[in-house]
Amino acid sequence: MKQLLLLRHAKSSWDDPGLDDFDRPLAERGVKAARSIGRELAARGWLPDLALVSPALRTRDTWRLVAAEWPVQPRIAFVEALYDASAADILSQIGQTDASSGSLLVIGHNPGLEQLARQL
């Protein structure tokens, strides 16, 4: 793998306090930001061959909006282990991917993603 992209899900909504954390949707601000980051990634040529995405609603929605801005779609895997994962867990998932991929995108959650970025 030549390039690793780490992306925390876009801003999520807290409008429904009774909703399970896994099922929280994106806030309107998050929807706009996800589209914007998708355009920016495309403009920079940072398009992954493979995306590993936490299956939580807000990460799936972030993925959908980001990838909608790209001219080609990479392979995608929704990985249960990325939900609420530690830095070590995320790194383990990265290590299990096909090393022939030129670029990998991981969409997950803090604090794990932020801790991994600092460690790297």
Query: Which residue range(s) make up the domain with 56?
Result: 3-119
Those residues with Cβ within 8 angstroms of residue 108's Cβ, 6 or more apart along the chain or in another chain: 6, 7, 8, 9, 53, 54, 59, 82, 83, 85, 90
CATH number, residue 48: 3.40.50.1240
* pTM, 2 dp: 0.95
For 44-99, the pLDDT digits (tens) are 999 999 999 999 999 999 999 999 999 999 999 999 999 999 999 999 999 999 87
For 87-101, the pLDDT digits (tens) are 999 999 999 998 788
User: By the 8 A CB rule, do 83 and 57 touch?
Assistant: no
